[in-house]
Amino acid sequence: MDRELACEIIKDLLPLYVDGMASDVSKKSIEQHLKHCEDCSEVYNNMVFNLEMEEQLSEVQDVKRFLKKTKRMYFFYGLCGLSFISILVCMIVDLALNNGITWSLIVGSSCLFADAFLYVILDCKKNKGCMAMAVLSIGTFVLLSVIQITRYYLMDTGTCWIFRYGFPILLLWLGVLWFPVLCRTFLKWNIWDCISLFMLLVIIGNYVTKLIIGDYVWNDVLHMRGFVSNALGEVIGIILFGIIGRVKNGYNNV
Q: Is 47 among the residues that bind Zn ion (CB under 5 A)?
A: no
CA dihedral 52, 56, 61, 66 (to 10 degrees): 130
Q: Which stretch binds Zn ion (CB under 5 A): 5-13, 47-55, 118-126, 154-162?
A: 5-13
Q: What is the DSSP string of 187-235?
A: S---HHHHHHHHHHHHHHHHHHHHHHHTS--HHHHHTTTTHIIIIIHHH
Q: Could you give the CA distance from residue 198 to residue 31 in angstroms, rounded to a whole number? A: 68
Torsion over CA: 43, 48, 54, 60 (sign)? negative
Q: Which pairs count as long-range contacts for 69-75, CB under 8 Å and 24+ apart, including other chains?
A: 72/122, 72/123, 73/122, 75/122
Residue 54 CB, nearest approach to Zn ion (Å): 24
**Residue of the chain from 9, 16, 37, 170 that contacts Zn ion (CB under 5 A):** 37
**Residue of the chain from 7, 79, 121, 174 that contacts Zn ion (CB under 5 A):** 7
Residue 18 CB, nearest approach to Zn ion (Å): 15
Q: Which stretch binds Zn ion (CB under 5 A): 40-48, 80-88, 175-183, 230-238?
A: 40-48
Binding mask 17-36 for Zn ion (x = CB under 5 A): --------------------
**Residue of the chain from 13, 14, 22, 40 that contacts Zn ion (CB under 5 A):** 40
Per CB under 5 A, residues contacting Zn ion are 7, 37, 39-40
